[in-house]
A and B are shown apart, each in its own frame.
Chain A
């Protein structure tokens, strides 16, 4: 039954793509969206079924792929990712219906979007190396096509797609190498065979496979220093696509790390996971710092994705480190924290990207310094964005909070009987978690406060109108998920518990204590998110009632903002995103390395009288400029040298062939 539905999901996805390709413009979008929705529901249902029953699904067909055949296998881990991807897919697809008129209505886009979603649904279902690599590549290529949809309008899109294409294929190469190495040494390419033989692999092989997988999947996950494509490609992609890339595709990078590291290799030495934890700390801090400095709304969200991925990697790394130290309870909690962060990320990040796209469409800009005043003009989108923003700031009663609480608890619990490495790593991880939280709070206030509140800073923002219904429904569903996951995390944690337990230990572990609140077994740690929510709500309502009852009749009297008695404040006087972040940029100038130019020109008559002052500041990605630019420079340099060899002369080419033949004969002989 479940097998049939999984196949149906794949078939529906293909049909959706066919519909997008073949139908006329009027019906194309709705037909493709409807079929994609069905595919998502089917895949989500299959995943949920596996999670609930615990029975993995196995499927094999030799008909589809030549030579190897297709092998599908949905275990608990894959099922979790299927459900999460399906949920994001549903939100983004609904949104896409309304968004289609903004550039996703073309034949290519309408066909590529279902392929992208379906391939993401199938990645966690792949059961062999060949199947995995094929769907993975399908996902990479279809997303690349979708990033390029708006390339005619913006040159930046082409450059972003180049970065994305190169990075994703470097990653794919590393993944291919890792999986092929595994398959070669295990003597078979299905994951079941690999799992059975993995214990006999030599240590260097295991280490090389793990590190290659970390590089390959880390680049997809946007982990520092392989994140450079992310703040370029996510902002340039159309709204639903960036939501899918950030909310679902990035998660699949983490799925890959879990698949290879935990499922296929069955864990490893502690230092592997210390590396993962270190990458996590770096990503979290680097992402959070760049997010706070960014003034482009979608770039800000993209860096915030790197930040959240960093937190998940901290959780995964901590789980591995604790498991290697035979600290299974703490490892299980850490893994559950990482998985919960992942589920949360899949709820709030697509929500933010979708509402950001609505904001961009409504006000014709995504530069925070051109927005403002939108909370009043977009009465649904504005509050939805606020919900997502508060969720990434990890404040109760929204879902981000529970994830970070769990991560903190696992780190605290892991400190008991700590080895030296753990004793040093955990405080650093906690500090990173805390600094990230603080910086994200500032980021959120900047994004919402500058972007949505205050006075409109441009005519586009002043004339913004609320977006189409489906563009409110899609994000609305995701916002509802944020609230429910925040108030009743037990619902999903119960499903995460067996997944987390199987990843870190062979025997089942009890992580949660049953009950209304979130209570951990083995540690005196509990919170009652629902009670906190009720408390806050009750306090807000009673205070609002008190303010109304005790105060004077009628609402507040609107008055012009106070400008010191001489002027009424204009938007030009208000703080911008750049000025808001200036203190933090100054504090962290070693990392952010802001470029600043100050040109003061004087009038011709006297150098004491200033005619104009121009101030420019720009925050560049230090890793891009310090690591990638020199690398690209070197590649270009070698390319230039290599071109001398290729000058178009047929004689020379014949000589090359002759020399090559001689060399081959000499070597072979």
Chain B
């Protein structure tokens, strides 16, 4: 595609993002929200997910939902992150790395459990390789339910933190 036709396509298509209602204030998260001041950097840890949640995260950052417009970004290092975004049930092999990730972050840091597996082991409860849910490894500040949670649910939950 030539540059010219690309620009033409961009102008024709315009912005695909859907409007969303303003966020609801959450008194439980008021402290962290004030500290974050409208910007949230996430370090994503896949602790043993089936990748369903990952697809929804990718979708939430895509053009239709555009989570980035509310000040949320995925970052490449736990040092840069305000919160760890954990998907999936925590497997034995990932329990330590998850703890280390949280330990490597600047304090105060948050832990967000994304999806039913992360909050309560979901379909994998009692599996031989399962170490437990996220809360049993690191204290969870925000749980986003759903299997997998819809992008709208992810966006609404995270907007309670960014306040945007």
Contacts and interface: CB of A to CB of B under 8 A. Distances in A.
Given A559-B103, A565-B96, A565-B100, 14 more contacts: A557-B107, A560-B104, A562-B77, A562-B78, A562-B79, A562-B104, A564-B97, A565-B45, A565-B97, A565-B98, A565-B101, A565-B104, A566-B96, A566-B100
Contacts, number: 20
Interface in A516-560: 557, 559-560
Contacts of B101: 565
Contacts of A557: 107
Contacts of B104: 559-560, 562, 565
Top 8 A-B pairs, shortest CB-CB distance: A565-B97, A565-B100, A565-B101, A562-B104, A566-B97, A562-B79, A559-B104, A562-B77
A564 B96 CA distance: 11
Contacts of A562: 77-79, 104
Nearest to A565: B97
Nearest to A556: B106
Contacts of A559: 103-104
Interface string B67-84: 000000000011100000
A200 to B, nearest CB: 71
Interface of B: 45, 77-79, 96-98, 100-101, 103-104, 107
A565 B96 CA distance: 8
A409 B98 CA distance: 57
A560 B99 CA distance: 13
Interface in A95-118: none
Interface of A: 557, 559-560, 562, 564-566
Nearest to B97: A565
B101 to A, nearest CB: 5
16 contacts: A557-B107, A559-B103, A560-B104, A562-B77, A562-B78, A562-B79, A562-B104, A564-B97, A565-B96, A565-B97, A565-B98, A565-B100, A565-B101, A565-B104, A566-B96, A566-B100
Nearest to A562: B104
Contacts of B98: 565
Contacts of A560: 104
B interface majority secondary structure = helix
A370 B107 CA distance: 35
A560 B105 CA distance: 11
Most central of B77, B78, B104, B107 by chain A CB within 10 Å? B104
B49 to A, nearest CB: 15
A633 B103 CA distance: 63
A279 to B, nearest CB: 48
A176 B73 CA distance: 73
Nearest to B99: A565
A390 to B, nearest CB: 27
A562 B77 CA distance: 8
A573 to B, nearest CB: 16
Nearest to A561: B104
Contacts of B107: 557
Contacts of A566: 96-97, 100
B46 to A, nearest CB: 11
A565 B107 CA distance: 17
Contacts of A564: 97
B124 to A, nearest CB: 21
A44 B3 CA distance: 68
A452 B77 CA distance: 25
A569 to B, nearest CB: 12
B72 to A, nearest CB: 22
Contacts of B77: 562
B5 to A, nearest CB: 36
Nearest to B100: A565
A562 B79 CA distance: 8
Contacts of A565: 45, 78, 96-98, 100-101, 104
Nearest to B98: A565
Task: With a 10 A CB-CB cut-off, give which of A557, A559, A560, A565 has the most chain B CB atoms.
Answer: A565
Nearest to A563: B100
Contacts of B100: 565-566
A566 B98 CA distance: 9
A559 B107 CA distance: 12
A566 B103 CA distance: 12
A547 to B, nearest CB: 14
A557 B97 CA distance: 20
Nearest to B93: A566
A557 B79 CA distance: 12
Nearest to B107: A557
A562 B103 CA distance: 10
A566 B96 CA distance: 7
A559 B100 CA distance: 11
Contacts of B96: 565-566
B107 to A, nearest CB: 8
B47 to A, nearest CB: 10
A564 B103 CA distance: 12
A155 B153 CA distance: 73
A42 B143 CA distance: 80
Contacts of B79: 562
A565 B77 CA distance: 10
A559 B78 CA distance: 12
A554 to B, nearest CB: 12
A468 to B, nearest CB: 40
Nearest to B45: A565
A557 B107 CA distance: 10
Nearest to B77: A562
A532 B100 CA distance: 44
A557 B108 CA distance: 13
A551 to B, nearest CB: 11
Contacts of B103: 559
A559 B79 CA distance: 11
A421 to B, nearest CB: 44
A562 to B, nearest CB: 5
B149 to A, nearest CB: 24
Nearest to A564: B97
A566 B78 CA distance: 13
A226 B31 CA distance: 70
A205 B45 CA distance: 79
Nearest to A568: B100
A560 B100 CA distance: 10
B128 to A, nearest CB: 21
A30 B77 CA distance: 56
A557 B103 CA distance: 12
A559 B97 CA distance: 15
